[in-house]
């Protein structure tokens, strides 16, 4: 049996790796596709929002991104909402509060957004028990667009129709995995929208008081 030189061995491994990468990429595109659904998929026959169906679609997105679905995400702590607006594919989200500690004043949250789906514009005001919430966001998978008040506004066409005429936060920033964005300041209006592959985002923040939430759209139920 003839000996193989180190150069020949490394060259063969490199060629094999390149071939595998091409084949793996084709296979991944063919077998791992993020499926999208029409808005009616998320509503029951009587028109009420189907949170279980919405959560099931988020599990599909987690699997697409190889995001670990830990037991807590299979339980009641993981939630999905359409904010009572009946337009889930445009305005809605999923989430889990990993922790929310009042005395220590910090909060950990995972945000889940389908492609093009937005968290409705909102702010956090001071309450009897908490200062205005401050937030930072770090995408883990996919990407998101964040919107704040400070800077040059984007064209109205980039804002989803439901918010196009009322949004106060119109300054857009794209956040990719590993990048971190920040809320502009206390009580500022802000919102977020999922990119083409949706977004799974870790939020670092001060204590979250639900009574502090204020929405631009007045008919929200949350």
CATH superfamily, domain 35-215, is Jelly Rolls (2.60.120.10)
Phi and psi at 142, nearest 5°, equal: 65, -150
Phi and psi at 146, nearest 5°, equal: -105, 155
- Residue 222 has what pLDDT? 79
DSSP 148-186: ESSSPPPPGGGS-GGGTTT-S--EEEEE-TT--EE-SST
| Predicted TM-score (pTM) of this structure | 0.85
- Residue 34 has what pLDDT? 95
Between the CA of residue 131 and those of 15, 42, 169, 179, 187, what are the distances in Å? Answer: 58, 36, 21, 26, 10
Whether the per-residue pLDDT at 164 is higher than 60: the answer is yes
Mean pLDDT of the chain: 89
Q: Which class for 121: exposed (0-12), middle (13-18), buried (19 or more C-beta within 10 A)? A: buried
In the DSSP assignment, the letter for residue 129 is: S
User: Domain boundaries in the chain?
Assistant: 1-32, 35-215
Phi and psi at 111, nearest 5°, equal: -105, 135
- Apex CA 191: angle with CA 188 and CA 195, to 5°? 150
Q: Give pLDDT tens digits for 58-90.
A: 999 999 999 999 999 999 999 999 999 999 999
Alpha helix (H) residue ranges in the chain = 6-31, 51-64
- Residue 101 has what pLDDT? 98
Residue 193 · residue 88 · CB < 8 Å: no
Distance, CA of 192 to chain centre: 8
| Exposure of 10 in the CB half-sphere (CA atoms within 13 A) | 3
Mean pLDDT of 82-105: 98
- Residue 6 has what pLDDT? 42
Measured CA to CA, the distance from residue 32 to residue 48 in angstroms comes to 31
Measured CA to CA, the distance from residue 213 to residue 209 in angstroms comes to 8
Residue 91 · residue 120 · CB < 8 Å: yes
């Amino acid at each position: 049996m003839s000996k193989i030189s180190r150069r020949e061995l490394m060259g063969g491994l490199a060629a094999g790796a390149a071939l595998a990468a091409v084949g793996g990429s084709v296979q991944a595109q063919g077998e791992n596709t993020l499926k999208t659904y029409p808005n009616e998929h998320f509503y029951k026959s009587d028109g009420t929002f189907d949170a279980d169906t919405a959560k099931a679609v988020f599990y599909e997105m987690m699997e697409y991104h190889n995001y670990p679905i830990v037991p807590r995400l299979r339980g009641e702590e993981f939630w999905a909402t359409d904010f009572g607006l009946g337009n889930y594919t445009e305005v809605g989200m999923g989430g889990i509060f990993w922790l929310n500690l009042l005395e220590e004043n910090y909060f950990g949250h995972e945000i889940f957004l389908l492609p093009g789906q937005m968290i409705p514009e909102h702010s956090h005001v001071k309450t009897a028990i908490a200062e205005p919430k401050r937030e930072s966001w770090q995408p883990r998978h996919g990407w998101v667009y964040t919107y704040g008040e400070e800077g040059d506004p984007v064209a109205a066409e980039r804002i989803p129709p439901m918010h196009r005429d009322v949004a106060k936060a119109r300054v857009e920033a794209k956040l990719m995995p590993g990048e971190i964005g920040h809320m502009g300041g206390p009580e500022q209006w802000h919102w977020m929208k999922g990119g083409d592959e949706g977004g799974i985002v870790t939020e670092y923040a001060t204590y979250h008081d639900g009574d502090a939430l204020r929405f631009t759209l007045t008919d929200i139920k949350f």
